[in-house]
Structure 1
Amino acid sequence: MSDKTFAEQTVVVTGGGTGIGRATALAFAELGASTVIITGRRPERLAEVAALHPAVVPVTADVTLAAGADAVAEAVQARGGTLDVLVHNAGVFRFSPLDALDADVVREVLDINLTGPLLLTGRLLPLLRSPGGSIVLVSSRAGHNPSPGGSVYAASKAAVHSLTRSWAAELAPRGIRVNAIAPGFVRTDAYAANGLGPEQVAGLFEHVKNEIPLGRVGDVADITPWITRLAEPASELVTGQIITLDGGMDLS
């Protein structure tokens, strides 16, 4: 891959303040993108990422709301008005056992994982390069291989899988590609956000690695190259695909 694969391109990455989103934004910047707009609801985290590369532009926004989507669109318009790559990374997992469902948790998960991508894509579509634009969604293996206690999250990610294929068919005549990745267990702060302490997280990873054929939990560095690869021009025949990155867990 050329060091300037995304030269002069504008990229939007949601949930760009931490984890996969942070690494993805920096990867696009290192690959030559002139502007990488990162969104999120915590300005301090976005500012930390923006300080690491001059191409990264922080936009504090809740993209589950029309006002947040508008703020991102305004940032794109202020920097030339054409968007080349849209990465839907923002997501949240919450435990949701069926016998203890919380309505607020249900709404939070569906809003962030599903409503946000829908609203933002609709708002940015007029700005997305056509032909040549690319959308990449960060989903989860839970979308096609869920586990007990996570039905709301799994349903939201199954919906993301459906969006990927539906949008790919709908936007293909415009020359816009849509793909997704579906990671398994990845070392991010998502587990701490669900109330697990460091020892609990370590114990979880130690347990699940024995169920992974390749024998280890994923790292962020395992994920971001697939996002940039799906977005690059060399992948111009790839659309409607959902790439599972789970160390072979689907085999068991």
Structure 2
Amino acid sequence: MNNLKNKIALVTGGNSGIGYATAKELIGQGAKVIITGKRREAIEAAAKELGAIPFLADQAELSDTKLLVESVNEQFGKVDILFINAGITGTLGAIEEASVENFDRVMNINFRGAYFTLSKFIPLLSDGASVVILSSIVASTYKPNSSIYQASKAALNSIAKTAAAELAPRKIRVNIVSPGPHRTEIMRKTGLEEMALKSITEQLINDIPLKKMGEPEDVAKLVTYLCDDAASFITGTEIIVDGGITL
């Protein structure tokens, strides 16, 4: 399959999880893919495995985004597919116990960083390009002890829909993919111990109607579909991938 042949794609946070799986799927469809990450060893290893182009960049650092835009412009002059994927959960906790440091860290990556990645790349997007923003079902679930993460994703959903309206005259489509529980490394970065993570995973599987966790490849295939001409009439849409847990 070469549905995306000659397309230039950028995947932020492409060295693991959903970003890695999506980069692999896009490459399989013929796209030339640039992946970003903030750990040199990890991003270079992933790029070598995938056959992608690595770029060391932290989405939270606007100076990194500026350099990324300049480099992509110099090398390719355009972007046909932009997958804004990088994100963190931060530290879980009640609103009354929230720290400014955790708030800033989550918002700087998940919202501010994502916002300006989109903003700065708009001039490079080709007419008819596809933008996909990775959100989460937490944007509309309002669970205790996750207010900052949830708010960051809700903000992303808002800007994605506004961007879809703004960019429609150029036939640029902007869509949101919101996964539910998936087997990725993001939960391990919350600071929870292994036994606690195991317990949470077992509880989640019990709560999911399909009785299984999602895999990164499930999201990757959907993102790739949204970047294909087959999805040319889909924009401003949020697609939930959660095994039915929000039913």
Q: Which residue, 40, 44, 60 being the options, matches 1:43?
A: 40
- Residue 200 of structure 1 and its aligned partner are, at CA, apart by 2.7
Secondary structure at 1:134 match in 2? strand
- Residue 146 of structure 1 and its aligned partner are, at CA, apart by 2.4
Secondary structure at 1:229 match in 2? helix
Q: For residues 49-68 of structure 1, what are the alpha-carbon distances to aligned partners after superposition, in whole Å with 9 as ceiling and x for unaligned?
A: 111133x1111112333321
What amino acid is aligned across from residue 174 of structure 1 in structure 2? R
- Residue 76 of structure 1 and its aligned partner are, at CA, apart by 1.4
Indicate conservation of the 8 Å contact 1:164/1:240, yes or no.
yes
More moved, 239-248 vs 56-65: 56-65
More moved, 177-186 vs 66-75: 66-75
Indicate conservation of the 8 Å contact 1:96/1:152, yes or no.
no
Give distance in 1, aligned partners of 2:41 and 2:238. 32
- Residue 90 of structure 1 and its aligned partner are, at CA, apart by 0.4
- Residue 245 of structure 1 and its aligned partner are, at CA, apart by 0.7
Secondary structure at 2:88 match in 1? coil
Structure 1 unaligned segments of length 5 or more: list them.
none
What amino acid is aligned across from residue 93 of structure 1 in structure 2? T
More moved, 63-72 vs 240-249: 63-72
TM-score, normalising length: structure 2: 0.96
Is 1:123 the counterpart of 2:117? The answer is: no
Structure 2 unaligned segments of length 5 or more: list them.
none
Give distance in 2, aligned partners of 1:69 and 1:18. 19
Is 1:194 the counterpart of 2:190? The answer is: yes
- Residue 211 of structure 1 and its aligned partner are, at CA, apart by 1.1
- Residue 203 of structure 1 and its aligned partner are, at CA, apart by 1.8
- Residue 242 of structure 1 and its aligned partner are, at CA, apart by 0.4
Indicate conservation of the 8 Å contact 1:37/1:58, yes or no.
yes
Q: Which residue, 22, 28, 37 being the options, matches 1:30?
A: 28
Q: Residue 219 of structure 2 corresponds to which residue in structure 1?
A: 223
What amino acid is aligned across from residue 199 of structure 1 in structure 2? M
Q: Which residue, 106, 111, 114 being the options, matches 2:111?
A: 114
Indicate conservation of the 8 Å contact 2:59/2:86, yes or no.
no
Matched residues, percent identical?
A: 35
Give distance in 2, aligned partners of 1:212 and 1:53. 32
More moved, 92-101 vs 237-246: 92-101
More moved, 198-207 vs 35-44: 198-207
Indicate conservation of the 8 Å contact 1:65/1:119, yes or no.
no
Give distance in 2, aligned partners of 1:19 and 1:111. 20
Give distance in 2, aligned partners of 1:175 and 1:191. 36
Q: For residues 107-131 of structure 1, what are the alpha-carbon distances to aligned partners after superposition, in whole Å with 9 as ceiling and x for unaligned?
A: 011111111111111111111001x
Q: Residue 7 of structure 2 corresponds to which residue in structure 1?
A: 9
Indicate conservation of the 8 Å contact 1:177/1:238, yes or no.
yes
Secondary structure at 1:133 match in 2? strand
RMSD, aligned CA = 1.2
- Residue 224 of structure 1 and its aligned partner are, at CA, apart by 0.7
Count of residues in Structure 1 that have an aligned counterpart in Structure 2: 246
- Residue 74 of structure 1 and its aligned partner are, at CA, apart by 2.3
What amino acid is aligned across from residue 165 of structure 2 in structure 1? A
Q: For residues 30-64 of structure 1, what are the alpha-carbon distances to aligned partners after superposition, in whole Å with 9 as ceiling and x for unaligned?
A: 1101x21111111111111111133x111111233
